Amino acid sequence: MHADAPAFATGLSLADARARITSIAADHIVGNESIALESALGRVLADDVVAPFDVPGFANSAMDGYALRGADLVADAETPLRLIGTILAGGTEIPRVEPNTCVRITTGAPLPEGADTVVMKEDSRIDGDVIVIAAATRPGANMRPAGEDYRSGDLALNAGTELTPAQLGVLASFGHSRVAVVRRPRAVLLTTGDELVAPGRVLGYGQIHDSNRYSLGALLEQHGVELARHERLRDDPSALREALARAADDADIVVSSGGVSAGEADYLPRLLAEVGRVHLWKVRIKPGMPFLFGGIGRTLVFSLPGNPVSGVATFLALVRPALDVMTRRRTHSMTLRARLAKPVRKAHTRVEFLRAVLICDESGSLHATPLQKQGSGQLRGVAEADALIMLPETAQEYAVGTVVEVLALPGWA
Q: Do the strands 60-61 and 387-391 form a parallel or antiparallel pair, or are they unpaired?
A: unpaired
76, 135 contact by CB (below 8 A): yes
The binder of 294, among Mg ion, ligand AMP, none, by C-beta within 5 to 8 A per type, is: none
- Residue in 7, 131, 143 with CA at minimum distance from that of residue 78: 131
Cα end-to-end distance, the chain, whole Å: 50
Nearer to Mg ion by Cβ, of 190 and 354: the residue is 190
Nearer to ligand AMP by Cβ, of 119 and 220: the residue is 220
- Residue in 293, 255, 262 with CA at minimum distance from that of residue 277: 293
Nearer to Mg ion by Cβ, of 258 and 295: the residue is 258
Half-sphere exposure (Cβ direction) of 189: Cα atoms closer than 13 Å: 24
Site string for ligand AMP, 351-380 (x = CB under 6 A): --------------------------x---
Coil/strand/helix, residue 211:
coil
Q: Figure out which of the listed residues 124, 167, 257, 299 binds ligand AMP, where binding follows CB under 6 A.
A: 257
Q: Figure out which of the listed residues 160, 224, 258, 288 binds Mg ion, where binding follows CB under 5 A.
A: 258
The counts of H helices and E strands in the chain are: 8, 29
Nearer to Mg ion by Cβ, of 66 and 281: the residue is 281
Write out the E strands in 234-365: 253-257, 277-283, 285-286, 292-296, 299-304, 335-340, 344-346, 351-360
> If binding is defined by CB under 6 A, does position 308 make contact with ligand AMP?
yes
Q: Figure out which of the listed residues 193, 269, 290, 305 binds Mg ion, where binding follows CB under 5 A.
A: 193
The identity of residue 329, as a single letter, is R
What residues are paired with 299 via a beta bridge? 296
- Piece in contact with Mg ion (CB under 5 A), picked from 131-139, 187-195, 354-362, 380-388: 187-195
Site string for ligand AMP, 177-196 (x = CB under 6 A): --------------x-x-xx
Nearer to ligand AMP by Cβ, of 40 and 216: the residue is 216
Nearer to Mg ion by Cβ, of 147 and 193: the residue is 193
Which residues lie below 8 Å from residue 337, measured CB to CB, with a gap of 6+? 366, 403, 404, 405, 406
User: What letter does residue 162 receive in the DSSP assignment?
Assistant: B
> If binding is defined by CB under 5 A, does position 147 make contact with Mg ion?
no
Q: Figure out which of the listed residues 258, 287, 295, 321 binds ligand AMP, where binding follows CB under 6 A.
A: 258
Q: Which residues bind ligand AMP (CB under 6 A)?
A: 191, 193, 195-196, 208, 210-212, 257-261, 263, 266, 305-308, 377
